[in-house]
Amino acid sequence: MFKAVKVLQASIVMVLAGCASAPNVATSQAQSPDTAIHDNPASAGPASETITTLAYVAPRAAEAPAIQAGGSINQAKGFTDANGRLLPDMQAYANEVSQTRNVPLNHVTRLLQAAHYNPKVARLMTPSSGRIKRSWVTYRKRYVEPVRINQGVSFWQEHQALLDDTAKRYGVPVSVIVAIIGVETLYGRYTGSFAVLDALATLGFRNPDPNRPERSQLFRDQLADLIELDWKKELDAMNVTGSFAGAMGLPQFMPGSLRRFAADGDRDSRINLHHSVADAVASVARFLRLHGWEPGLPVFAPVIVPANAAKWVDGGLTPNLTWPELNKAGFQARAGHENDAWTRHPVGVIDLLDEPRNLAEYRVATPNFFALTEYNRSYFYATSVAELANILADRMGYGRAF
C-alpha cells in the first residue's frame, strides 16, 4: 500500500505489476500480540460478523524522524561513481541513516551500493503531462468486478476460520479485510516483481516531482525503513520484491507500515506478508484499527442527501461534521436502520465525481471510511473497498452492512 500524498479522487491508482510467485518475501520479527477484552455482539457490523472490542492496539515501533540528507535529481544515473563508491549526496544520506537508525555505516553503504536505477520505475511514477478526468464509474468497474468477487468468495471460504478469528480479535469485519486484499493484489496474484531496494532508491533520488517535492522525501524515508528492517534481519533488502512504488506482499505494505503496523497473525515469531495469509490478514486489520477504525460502525451512514450536498464537501481526509448539523441542513436518516451509533461520531460528506459524464454522487462517510483512506488516500479507493466488501458479505450470506 502506497499512500500517495495529497491525492484524493484519483481516477487511476497504481497498477501493481509483477508475479505472485516471486520467491522473495517480506518478513519482520513479530512483537508482543495485541490483547482482546471481550466479545461485543452489540457493536457487530454485518450480521454473523461478531467482533471483539480491543483494549489497545499498540504500534510495533514509533515513526522515525525524516532523513534530511540527500535530494532528488531528474537524471537516469546510478548511485555510485566509476569506482563503486557512493556519490556525495548518497554518502551524506548513508551517514544520516546510520546515525538516526542505529545501523552500522558499512551496512548502510553496502545496501546503497547494491541499489540500481530502474528506468521503468521512474517512467511508471512520472506524472502524466495532462490532467486526467476523474471517473468514479470507470474506477469502480476496474475493482468491483466479477473476477475479484469470485476470487474473494473463494479466498473467504478457504480461510474462513482464520478470517473470523481475526475479525473477532481486531474488530474489523471479514468482508473489509478480504476486499482490501482483493483490490490490492487480487488475493496475492499480483504482488509485484520490482526490487524494492531499486524502486525506493530510484524514486527517492532520481525521480523528482516538481509539483510534489515531498514525494521524494517520502521514498527516502521508506528506504531508510527498508535498511533498518534489513539490519534487524526482519527482511532481506537485497532480494525483497514488490510494486514499483515499493509496496510489499498480499496487503502491499510499504517498509514503514511493515515496521510499524504489521502483525504476526500465525504467531510464528516472524511476519511474512508474501506467503503467510494469517500475517497479511492480521496486518490489514491492525493497520485499520490503528488508523481510526471504529468497530460496529458502517463505512457509509444510511442517509438521504439533499440537493445541495456538494456544499458540504471539503475534499479532506478527516471527518469534521456532526450528524445534528447535517440533519438540520436537510440530510435525512433512512428508515429501517436500527444501529444509529454512527450519529454519535464525526462524519464527512464525500463526492464521487464522474467528470466525463458530468455526474456526481454524494455520500455521508463515517470514521471507518476515513480509516480506509489511510490505506490509500483516495475517495474512489475507499468506496471501492466498501462496495466490494458489501457484495462479498452478501455472497457469503452475511447481508449488506452499508
What amino acid positions are annotated as catalytic residues?
184
Which residue carries 534487524 as its cell?
A: 232
b/e map 19-47, b = 16+ CB within 10 Å: eeebebbbbbebeeebebeeebeebbbbe
- Grid cell listed for 262: 504489521
Q: What whole-number distance in Å separates Cα of residue 373 and Cα of residue 368?
A: 9
104-107: long-range contacts at Cβ-Cβ below 8 A with a sequence spacing of 24 or more? 104/231, 107/227, 107/230, 107/231
Q: What whole-number distance in Å separates Cα of residue 4 and Cα of residue 135?
A: 18
Residue 27: helix, strand or coil by DSSP?
Answer: strand
CA 334 to chain centre: 31
CB contact at 8 A, 101 and 81: no
Helix extents (H) in 146-250? 146-158, 160-170, 174-185, 196-205, 214-231
CB contact at 8 A, 173 and 46: yes
- Residues contacting residue 296 through CB under 8 Å, at least 6 positions apart: 40, 42, 43, 44, 45, 51, 171, 339, 341
Under DSSP, the state recorded for 233 is: T
CB contact at 8 A, 27 and 396: no
Q: What whole-number distance in Å separates Cα of residue 32 and Cα of residue 193?
A: 31
Q: What whole-number distance in Å separates Cα of residue 189 and Cα of residue 294?
A: 30
CB contact at 8 A, 374 and 354: no
Under DSSP, the state recorded for 144 is: S
Whole-angstrom CA distances from 115 to 1, 70, 215, 231, 401 are: 22, 15, 19, 16, 46
